[in-house]
Amino acid sequence: MSRHFILIVSVLAFFSTTSLTLFYRYGEAQGGKIVNSAGKTLPPDAAPLARQIVRYMSPEPRSLDSSINDYDTESTIIPFEPLLRRDENWDPEPAAATRYESSKDGKTWTFYLRPGARWSDGRPLTAGDFVYSYRRMLNPQEANPYAFFYYDFKNARAINRGEIKDPSKLGVRAVDDRTLVIETETPAPYLPYIVSFGNGFPVPSWQVEKYGRKWTLAGNIVSNSGFKLGEWINGKHMTFVPDPMYNGPHKPYVEKVIHPFREAAAATILAYENNEVDYEAVDLTDLARIRRDPKLARDLVKVPARGSWYVFFKTKQPPFNDIRVREAFARAIDRNAIVKTLMNDMAYPAYSINPPEFADHQGSAMKKYQDFDPVRAKQRMKEAGFPGGRGFPKQELWLRAPTPTLKRVAEAMTAMLKENIGVDVTIRAADRTMYMNNLYNWRMNLGLIVFFADYQDSRNMLDMIWHSQPQGFGRSDWSNANFDRLVEQAGGELDPARRQQQYRQAEELMVADYAAAFVFHPINIELRKPWIKGYRRNPDGTVGGWDYTRVYVGK
């Protein structure tokens, strides 16, 4: 082959490559479209496909089967799609079901599944898959700590507690492959919120029955959302990629999500600073340094948390069976000092359970019961037979996988309890699984815990946490018959104004009975790289939550 021929071929190759590059750039500039591997057209300001990769770091999940144990999955993608899902305003929107309707009495709900929906292995997704999954969630042998979430379903409570042995009695049935009917015990105007909960997804019965609890491991998992598991390297990372079988409305823009693992106690922003991740939850201990750094400060965002941190008591036995003791603990905590000094005003003082983002938030109206008042706290301890804390048994304050900030908050509270009511309290930390097992089995006298809303309705914050439950089924042993009656009435009330009034009465009753000492409502703070697009910016300066199906990498 002559050198002239080689030269000609090289020149042609150069111009061919250059022309392709110019054509690609010209196409983009003139509104040319980029379509990803899921068949989704990227926004005009999106970077090329090769850059559509998002990285986020958190602890390694024990399992991706959050339909059975929500606390095993950590902060990773759950590659499953429920009937409905939440939009950026936390309102239900179509997911596996394209539409739904309810009977006039609010007790029968019909959901119509998307035509052509498939599992990641190509099998059709059917209404029967949801029937199987809901029965599994409520099977008492599965010991699902979140089973109570579905107690609105007809016979769900009795099935979950073993009082009804036949799972077919559950009020969930398939009319045909694409039609699912859910019957409720009472009118349930909030049912779309229940089925849009992220853990209410279907599971593949053939994989569950073949592999048991290992069905979500790499090589075993079959899923039904816009993402599927790419790989899972134990101790290192997992990846998620678009699922070509998914034909729904929530296909991702990104080509891959990389999820490196780290221990919760090792959480820092170093990986973010080193451009190893695109998104990082920020602990308040790093906030001052971030604000001093112009580049990091630019990336800092606030996200509505919709949550409440509170101190719970074991109320059925001494010493916390005495309401005077519970009130003393609540009055001994200076919430304003915690929020201002330890949390840099990235929280609101809490006096009840409903967070500020809720329409039913009562805020300062509950201060009369729980405001910081060391004089009254001392008096109540004296009335309970523990003047100056003398004779009061030492207590442990349990923390769940605490961040550095939560440790500081706990230390401050124990110091306040010592100073204001003379009580010695030590701190004990546990991992998430151990903590939640102890919580539901009422093994802790005293603990600090958060509840983040699953949906934006008082039923979620009040009824689901505080309605009396047997041991093993509820977070707290606190019970109050009047409270139970009010939230039961409110749950089935179709008149919005009356429903709100009942919930507000129930909340005040719970606060006044010192079911807990409420401490603060958090404001989540995060670092997000400037090239991450696709999330909402709100008028109040906060941003929308992180949705892996909506975010993408900008140019």
Q: Which CATH number covers residue 165?
A: 3.90.76.10
Is 90 a residue whose pLDDT tops 80?
A: yes
- Chain Cα centroid distance, residue 354: 16
Confidence of residue 265 (pLDDT cuts 50, 70, 90): low
Confidence of residue 268 (pLDDT cuts 50, 70, 90): confident
Residue 99 counted as domain residue: yes
Between strands 92-94 and 84-86, the pairing is antiparallel
Q: Do the Cβ atoms of 360 and 463 come closer than 8 Å?
A: no
Asked if 508 and 387 sit in the same domain, the reply is: yes
DSSP output for 187-232: --TTHHHHHTSTT-----HHHHHHHGGGTTSTTT----SSEEEEEE
Q: Which residue has the higher pLDDT, 219 or 263?
A: 219
Confidence of residue 6 (pLDDT cuts 50, 70, 90): very low
Averaged pLDDT for residues 380-406: 96
Query: Which of 212, 237, 263 finishes a domain?
Result: 212
Confidence of residue 48 (pLDDT cuts 50, 70, 90): very high
Query: Which of 150, 178, 212 finishes a domain?
Result: 212
Asked if 192 and 251 sit in the same domain, the reply is: no
Question: CB neighbours (10 Å) of residue 149?
Answer: 20
Question: CB neighbours (10 Å) of residue 12?
Answer: 10
> What is the pLDDT at residue 323?
98
> What is the pLDDT at residue 318?
97
Give 468-486 pLDDT, tens digit per residue: 999 988 899 999 999 999 9
DSSP state of 366: G
Residue 294 counted as domain residue: yes
- Which of 44-53, 66-75, 343-352 is the least confident region? 66-75
Residue 295 counted as domain residue: yes
Confidence of residue 266 (pLDDT cuts 50, 70, 90): low
If we measure between CA atoms, which residue out of 100, 98, 166 comes closest to residue 138?
166
Between strands 97-102 and 108-113, the pairing is antiparallel
Asked if 313 and 401 sit in the same domain, the reply is: yes
Asked if 96 and 177 sit in the same domain, the reply is: yes
Residue 31 counted as domain residue: no
Count up the domains in the chain and report the number. 3
What is the amino acid identity at position 123?
A: R
Is 15 a residue whose pLDDT tops 70?
A: no
Is 519 a residue whose pLDDT tops 50?
A: yes
Using DSSP, how many helices (H) and how many strands (E) does the chain show? 18, 20
Asked if 205 and 220 sit in the same domain, the reply is: no
Asked if 371 and 424 sit in the same domain, the reply is: yes
455, 456, 462, 467: CA torsion to nearest 10? -30
Is 26 a residue whose pLDDT tops 90?
A: no
Q: Residue 405 is part of a domain; what is its CATH number?
A: 3.10.105.10
Residue 347 counted as domain residue: yes
Between strands 516-528 and 347-349, the pairing is antiparallel
Confidence of residue 236 (pLDDT cuts 50, 70, 90): very high
* 527-532-537 Cα angle (round to 5): 75
Asked if 477 and 357 sit in the same domain, the reply is: yes
Establish whether the linkage from the previous residue to 244 is cis, with ω within 30° of 0: no
Asked if 161 and 264 sit in the same domain, the reply is: no
> What is the pLDDT at residue 89?
80
Asked if 311 and 427 sit in the same domain, the reply is: yes
Residue 333 counted as domain residue: yes
Mean pLDDT of the chain: 91
Is 25 a residue whose pLDDT tops 50?
A: no
If we measure between CA atoms, which residue out of 332, 424, 314 comes closest to residue 370?
332
Residue 32 counted as domain residue: no
In whole angstroms, give the CA distance from residue 348 to residue 334: 12
Question: What is the pTM for the complete model shown?
Answer: 0.82
> What is the pLDDT at residue 464?
87
Phi-psi region of 401 (alpha: psi -120 to 50; beta: other; left: phi over 0): left
In whole angstroms, give the CA distance from residue 513 to residue 269: 41
Q: Residue 277 is part of a domain; what is its CATH number?
A: 3.40.190.10
> What is the pLDDT at residue 23?
30
Is 96 a residue whose pLDDT tops 70?
A: yes
Q: Which residues pair with 257 in a beta bridge?
A: 54, 240
> What is the pLDDT at residue 222?
98
Q: What percent of the chain has pLDDT over 70?
A: 94
> What is the pLDDT at residue 466?
96
Q: Which residue has the higher pLDDT, 496 or 331?
A: 331
Asked if 376 and 515 sit in the same domain, the reply is: yes
> What is the pLDDT at residue 73?
86
Asked if 221 and 176 sit in the same domain, the reply is: no
Is 277 a residue whose pLDDT tops 60?
A: yes
Residue 133 counted as domain residue: yes
Between the CA of residue 320 and those of 314, 399, 451, what are the distances in Å?
6, 18, 21
Asked if 495 and 441 sit in the same domain, the reply is: yes
Q: Which domain holds residue 341?
A: 307-523
